[in-house]
C-alpha cells in the first residue's frame, strides 16, 4: 500500500484531501483496499457510484462496447448514442427536447451558461449562496465558496450576483436588464445538503417566466434518482429551461449532460460549443445500461424508501447527541450537521470500515449507492453513533 501512496504523492498534483487508503476493488455498496480491508461506501466518488460499484449491467455493456467501437466524434452518427438518446428522452422533463453531451458536471454547467448567454443575448447570472457548480472558470463564476473563487477572481466572469438559497423575493430584486439566467441546485450538495422551502422553486419559475429570464437547474449531484425521484426538482413539480446532470448517469464512466428546451438549445450554432469525447460510444453504452438498471430495478423508489429509513436512524442520533445540530436531505442524499468540524468523525469512521464525505467543515455528507441494504445502513449508523459519542465525550472533557 505504501508504495502506491508514495507514487501518487510524488507525481500527482496535491489538490485533494487524501485519505490514507488505496482502493482497488468495488462491488455494490462495498469497496476494498489494497490490504483487503472492506468499507461500506457512503461517498461513492462524490455521488458517482449511484448504482453501486461495478454494476453487472454496466460492466457487461462496457465489455461489449469495448470490442466494437471506443470513439466516435460527434461529426458522425452512432448507433448506441442514438439508442441512448431515445431512452433518455423518456425520463427527461417533457419540455427539454435537445441534449448536449460532455464529460463532467462542470462541463455540463459551462455549456448551460454559454447556451443561456447565446439565447438571451445577455451575460448576467444569479446564483445561490453556498452553491457549488464546478471549478472550471465559467462554473466557478457561479460557485459561491470563496476558497474556490478567490485565487482566480481576476479570471472569472464578474457579472454574477449571489442571493440566499430559498429567498425568491431577493432573486426577483436582483434581476436586471443584463440577467440571462438564474442557476440553482434543487438540493444543495457541497453547500451542506440543503433543501429549499416548499414554495421556492415554483416561485423562481414564475419570476423567471415573468421577467423573461432562463431557469437552470444543476442536478449534477441531486439528479438521476438520488433524492427518491428521477430528478430532484420533481419534488416541487417545477421544470427548468436548462438541466445539467453528470456524476451518476453512466454508472461510473465520465459523462455530462446538458438538456434544454429546443428553441433555447437551438441558439447554439454549429461549432460554437463542441468537445472531442462527448457522447462517445463507451460512455453511451454505460449510460444506457445504467438508465435501464435504474428504471427496471426500481432503484429510484428504493432511494425513497431506504432514504426515509436512513434519515429516521440519523434523527435518533440527533436526539441522542448535543454535538449534532441538524439532520436533513431527501432520499439517499443526507447530511448530518455537527456543532464542530467533522474531520475526526470522518477519519474515525474510515478506520472502522465506513466511508463518509464532508460538505463544508461541519456537515457529514452521505451519498450511498441506491443498492445499499438496511443491514449496511445499520452498520453505518452504528459507526456514526460510536464516533459522535467520542466527539461529545471529548467536548465535555475539554469544558470540564
Name the DSSP class of 277: S
Same domain, 7 and 136: no
On whether both 251 and 387 belong to a single domain, the answer is: no
The grid cell for 131 is 452553491
Helix (DSSP H) and strand (DSSP E) numbers for the chain: 14, 15
Cβ-based neighbour number of residue 118 at 10 Å: 18
Which SS3 state, helix, strand or coil, does residue 34 take? coil
8 Å CB contact between 198 and 234: no
Across the range 317-325, mean pLDDT stands at 97
Kindly give the pairing relationship between strand 357-358 and strand 98-102: unpaired
In total, the chain counts a number of residues equal to 400
Between CA 236 and CA 388 the distance in angstroms is: 34
Give me 57's grid cell.
449491467
Helix orientation angle between 374-399 and 299-320, rounded to the nearest 10 degrees: 20
State the sign of the Cα–Cα–Cα–Cα dihedral 271, 277, 281, 285: negative
Decide if 106 contacts 100 (C-beta within 8 A): no
pLDDT in tens, 197-251: 999 999 999 999 999 999 999 999 999 999 999 999 999 999 999 999 999 999 9
26 lies in the same domain as 60: no
- Give DSSP secondary structure letters for 159-175: -EEEE-TT-HHHHHHH-
pLDDT at 1: 64
Assign 3-state DSSP to the chain and report helix, strand, coil percentages, each to 5.
Answer: 40, 20, 40
String of DSSP letters for 180-212: EEEEE-SSBSTTTSBPPPTTHHHHHHHHHHHHT
Contact by Cβ (8 Å): 184, 127: yes
The 324-330 sheet, strands edge to edge: 324-330, 333-338, 363-366, 357-358
Q: In the chain, how many domains are there?
A: 2
Does one domain contain both 280 and 217?
Answer: yes
Residue 46 has pLDDT above 90, yes or no: yes
What's the pLDDT score for residue 343? Answer: 97
- 316 shares a domain with 265: no
Residue 397: pLDDT above 90?
no
The answer to whether residue 80 scores a pLDDT higher than 70 is yes
DSSP category for residue 236: G
Among 296, 317, 351, identify where a domain stops.
296
Q: Same structural domain for residues 183 and 318? A: no
Nearest-angstrom CA–CA distance, 44 and 247? 10
Same domain, 290 and 314: no
pLDDT tens readout for residues 15-36: 999 999 999 999 999 999 999 9
pLDDT tens digits, 255-287: 999 999 999 999 999 999 999 999 999 999 999
Q: Are residues 156 and 232 in the same domain?
A: yes
Last residue of a domain, one of 296, 320, 336: 296
Task: Report the percent of the chain where pLDDT is more than 70.
Answer: 100
Residue 97 shares a structural domain with residue 31:
no
Question: What is the grid cell recorded at 54?
Answer: 461495478
What CATH number did the domain enclosing 26 receive? Answer: 3.90.1150.10
DSSP class of 315 = H
Q: Which residue segment(s) compose the domain that 274 sits in? A: 56-296
Average pLDDT value over all residues in the chain: 97
- Please report, for the domain that includes residue 235, its CATH number: 3.40.640.10
- Residue 400 pLDDT > 70, yes or no? no
Judged by average pLDDT, the poorest of 81-90, 103-112, 145-154 is 145-154
d(Cα 295, Cα 275) in Å, to the nearest integer?
Answer: 29
Pairwise CA distance, residues 232 & 221, whole Å: 10
Closest CA to 358 of 223, 224, 191, 226: 191
CA distances from 289 to 61, 245, 297 (A): 6, 17, 11
Give Cβ neighbours of residue 291 (< 8 Å, ≥ 6 apart): 84, 87, 88, 91, 249
Of 296, 311, 329, the position where a domain reaches its end is 296
Same domain, 215 and 278: yes
Whether 289 and 303 map to the same domain: the answer is no
Q: What is the pLDDT of residue 6?
A: 96
Shared domain for 24 and 128, answered yes or no, is: no
Amino acid at each position: 500500500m505504501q508504495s502506491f501512496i508514495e507514487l501518487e504523492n510524488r507525481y500527482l498534483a496535491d489538490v485533494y484531501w487524501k485519505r490514507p487508503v488505496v482502493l482497488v476493488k468495488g462491488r455494490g455498496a462495498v469497496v476494498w483496499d489494497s490490504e483487503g480491508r472492506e468499507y461500506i461506501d457512503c461517498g461513492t466518488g462524490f455521488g458517482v457510484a449511484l448504482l453501486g460499484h461495478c454494476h453487472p449491467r454496466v460492466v457487461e455493456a462496457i465489455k461489449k462496447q469495448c470490442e466494437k467501437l471506443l470513439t466516435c466524434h460527434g461529426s458522425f452518427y452512432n448507433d448506441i448514442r442514438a439508442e441512448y438518446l431515445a431512452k433518455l428522452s423518456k425520463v427527461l422533463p417533457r419540455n427539454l427536447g435537445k441534449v448536449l453531451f460532455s464529460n463532467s458536471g462542470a462541463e455540463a454547467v459551462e455549456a448551460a451558461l454559454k447556451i443561456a448567454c447565446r439565447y438571451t443575448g445577455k451575460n448576467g447570472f444569479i446564483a445561490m449562496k453556498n452553491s457549488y457548480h464546478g471549478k472550471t472558470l465559467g462554473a466557478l463564476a457561479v460557485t459561491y465558496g470563496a476558497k474556490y473563487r478567490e485565487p482566480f477572481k481576476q479570471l472569472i466572469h464578474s457579472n454574477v450576483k449571489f442571493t440566499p438559497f430559498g429567498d425568491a423575493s431577493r432573486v426577483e430584486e436582483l434581476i436586471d436588464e443584463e440577467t440571462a439566467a438564474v442557476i440553482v441546485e434543487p438540493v444543495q450538495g457541497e453547500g451542506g445538503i440543503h433543501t429549499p422551502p416548499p414554495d421556492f422553486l415554483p416561485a423562481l419559475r414564475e419570476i423567471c417566466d415573468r421577467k423573461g429570464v432562463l431557469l437552470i437547474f444543476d442536478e449534477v449531484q441531486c439528479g438521476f434518482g438520488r433524492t427518491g425521484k428521477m430528478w430532484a426538482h420533481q419534488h416541487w413539480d417545477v421544470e427548468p429551461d436548462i438541466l445539467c446532470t453528470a456524476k451518476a448517469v453512466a454508472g461510473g464512466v465520465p459523462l455530462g449532460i446538458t438538456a434544454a428546451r429546443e428553441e433555447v438549445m437551438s441558439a447554439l450554432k454549429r461549432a460554437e460549443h463542441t468537445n472531442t469525447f462527448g457522447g462517445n460510444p463507451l460512455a453511451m453504452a454505460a449510460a444506457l445500461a445504467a438508465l435501464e438498471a435504474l428504471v427496471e430495478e426500481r432503484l429510484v423508489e428504493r432511494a425513497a424508501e431506504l432514504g426515509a429509513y436512513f434519515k429516521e436512524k440519523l434523527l435518533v442520533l440527533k436526539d441522542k447527541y448535543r454535538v449534532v445540530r441538524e439532520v436533513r436531505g431527501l432520499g439517499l442524499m443526507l447530511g448530518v450537521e455537527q456543532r464542530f468540524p467533522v474531520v475526526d468523525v470522518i477519519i474515525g469512521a474510515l478506520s472502522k470500515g465506513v466511508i463518509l464525505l464532508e460538505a463544508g467543515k461541519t456537515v457529514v455528507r452521505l451519498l450511498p449507492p441506491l443498492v445499499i441494504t438496511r443491514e449496511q445502513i445499520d452498520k453505518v449508523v452504528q459507526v456514526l453513533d460510536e464516533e459522535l459519542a467520542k466527539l461529545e465525550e471529548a467536548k465535555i472533557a475539554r469544558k470540564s
